[in-house]
Amino acid sequence: MTPPLRISFVVRCRPETAFWLWTESIGRWWPADHTVSGDPELIALEDRVGGRVFERTHDGTEHNSGQVTPWDPPVRLGYS
């Protein structure tokens, strides 16, 4: 099994702002060419443990790409 990828970095904003930008605004920064469809209408992360990380295409098809594991805003977030 491949070990989990862990990323950490420093950003110059409040933790609440960084958490919001990473989660609620995921569709603004996630590259479209890193999705199943290559041209999603929506990329979203559901805000709870067990929530989906998914994309929705223009015809309404949804592709799940992950699941939220820890959810502890604005301190901790993980997804598979």
Domain residue limits at 71:
15-79
3-state secondary structure 3-57: CCCCCCCCCCCCHHHHHHHHHCCHHHHCCHHHCCCCCCCEEEECCCCCCEEEEEC
- pLDDT for res 53: 96
Q: Give a yes or no: residue 41 inside a domain.
A: yes
Q: Give a yes or no: residue 70 inside a domain.
A: yes
Q: Give a yes or no: residue 75 inside a domain.
A: yes
Q: Give a yes or no: residue 1 inside a domain.
A: no
Q: Give a yes or no: residue 3 inside a domain.
A: no
Q: Give a yes or no: residue 58 inside a domain.
A: yes
Q: Give a yes or no: residue 4 inside a domain.
A: no
Residue 59: how many other CB atoms lie within 10 Å: 7
- pLDDT for res 6: 83
pTM recorded for the entire structure? 0.81
Q: Give a yes or no: residue 46 inside a domain.
A: yes
**Mind listing the pLDDT tens digit for each residue in 25-64?**
999 999 999 999 999 999 999 999 999 999 999 999 999 9
Closest C-alpha to 28, from 16, 44, 12, 47: 44
Number of domains composing the chain: 1
| C-alpha–C-alpha distance, residues 33 and 4, integer Å | 22
